Structure formats: C-alpha cells, structure tokens
Amino acid sequence: MRVRAMVRATSEVAHLEQLGVEICHADLSDIPGMQRACAGVDLVVHCAAAVGSFGEWDHFHEVGVLGTGRLIDAAEQAGVRRLVHVSSIAVYGLREHAGALDEDTAFDARPQAWNHYVREKVMSEQRVWQAHEAKRIAVTCIRPSVVIGARDRNAVPRLADLLRLPIVALPGGPDLHFPVVTIDDCVDLIVRAVQSDRAIGRAYNVSGEQRIRVADVFGFVAKHAELAPPRLYLPTALLLPMVGALEAIWKLLRRPGEPVATRIAIVVSGYDYAIDCTRAQRELGWRAQGDYEAAIADALAEPSTVALRVVKPAA
C-alpha cells in the first residue's frame, strides 16, 4: 500500500519521510494542490480542520467547512472511491448529557454562540454525508474524543500550561470523566475502517474503553511535566463567564495565539462524558488498549525521544 500525505509547506514531516510516505504540499484553500494530492488515489483520510478553542467563526468556516467541501470536490474529480472523515464527538455538543453518547445521538443543532469548533465539526460532517447520499463518494466518519499521545501539540501541552498558572481552578469536580483516547487506538480504528467495506456509510465513536477521571488526567500531566497537581475546583457554570471575560480581554489587547484557559477547555473537562464505542467493537473488531499515562508522557516528551510506531493492518 502506498501512502501520500497532504501537508502544509510549514509542517514537520521527518517522521513521515522515515516511513516512506509521499509528501504533497497543499492546504484546504489550495484547489490545484488538493487535485494533485488526490490524483491516482483510491481512498482519502481527511483529518484536517481548524483545531483550536479560540478565534473567529470565519476561520473555522473557511478551513473546516468550505475546505472540506473543496476536498470532496477534488476527490470526486480524481475518481477517489472512498473518504474516511475524521470528525469528533464534539458533533454531539460539548455540554451536559443525560447518558452515554452513541452514534445515533443527535448532532448539536444549537451549540453555544461562542463554540465555533462544535459548529465547524457539525457542518463539515453534514457536508460529507450529503456527498455520500448523493453518491459522489463513499463515506465513513470517525468521531474521536480528545486524542492524546506523541506529537500532540494541542490537548496535553495546553493542560500542562494551565497547571503552570499561579492559581489553577478546574471546572466541576475531580470525579467527572474526561473523554479521551490514545492516538494509537484512534489510528487503529481508522485503519480498520479503511480496510472494511462494512464501514461504508457508517459512523464510529472512538474513545478509551476505561473511563478516566479529570483528576487522574491532570494528575498524570502534573507528574510528567513535574508540576503540582490541581486541588481547587469551581462550578462549571461559574467558570464559563469568568473565562469568557478572559477571552474578551485577550482579543481587546490583540494578544497572539490563544489564552491559556478557554471556554472550550472548560466544557470539555467540566461535564461528565460517557462515550459508547460498541459499534466499532462489534462491526470492526476494535478495542481500545492504549495506556493513558504513557500517551500523556509521550505528548510531553520531545518528538525525537518518542519511539516511532507503525500501526499494523487489522486482522
């Protein structure tokens, strides 16, 4: 099997080149580049999006929604047979839920006004399913929870940054469950979906089999970042407007990047999440086996010190 990776010109690709992956430089605004990336390809795994918890809707819409539409067009024109779209459990809404979330849980039709990430993921997946229903391309959707592991530049490093603040107050309580999956388990499910025609027209949640408490996630981060674990918890409903004010001040001062604390971080860790992955287990023979602590340690390590892993094809 030959693999081609479409990456931005600024991306670090040494680990991909070690695996013999063909590199194509383009992004989701570059139509000719996407056409080159899709030429001669049988299947596309689409995992690009505006990933973050802060910013303007125009950016999320341009990259995640319109960019997905452009990629579908390029894939269809190139005669690509299948698309595996990496979505998110965020499509169900990052809010309090009454029970476990399975693939039949309704999308969040009215996310919080500030929650552009949820809106982006809902609208991009809707575009993908529209293309499938129109028989433009055969689709499978993968919906991971928060992915942790080697080369994580988003989730775990941000948790460590939060613990470096002089005063740390986490939302909710220590016994809430954090929705998390290791990168190895996530990639294993993607590979199984790629190799299975049964996965066509199906969506699959992917989350760790063992639920993990917020206190334990932050405890592992503190341990491997050599920081003090958090001990102060405040109600989620109280922290949301406080962090919203921080975001507003950050924008007013035109500071670069994102503030350390954002409202999306509050709603991810401030509610109790249970993710039902029974469908992936039953239909694709997938089971989550990743070690959360090892994944967090890998996320905090220098990339050069993390062993390069190759995911074996599913049996």
Give the tens place of pLDDT for each residue, 110-121.
999 999 999 999
Reply yes or no on whether the pLDDT at 54 is more than 90. Answer: no
Q: Could you write out the three-class secondary structure of 282-304?
A: HHHCCCCCCCHHHHHHHHHCCHH
Q: What is the mean pLDDT of residues 290-309?
A: 81
- Tell me the two tokens of residue 58: 């125009």
Residue 143: predicted pLDDT: 98
Residues 17-47: tens digit of each pLDDT = 999 999 999 999 999 999 999 999 999 999 9
Q: How far apart are CA 112 and CA 119, in angstroms?
A: 9
Q: Length of the chain in residues, anyone?
A: 315
pLDDT at 307 (0 to 100): 53
Q: Domains in the chain, ordered, with CATH?
A: 40-302 (3.40.50.720)
**What is the pLDDT averaged over residues 91-97?**
96
Residues 6+ apart with CB under 8 A from 45: 84, 86, 190, 194
Tens of pLDDT, residue by residue over 154-197, are 899 999 999 999 989 999 999 999 999 999 999 999 999 999 99
Averaged pLDDT, 190-208: 97
pLDDT at position 305 is: 55
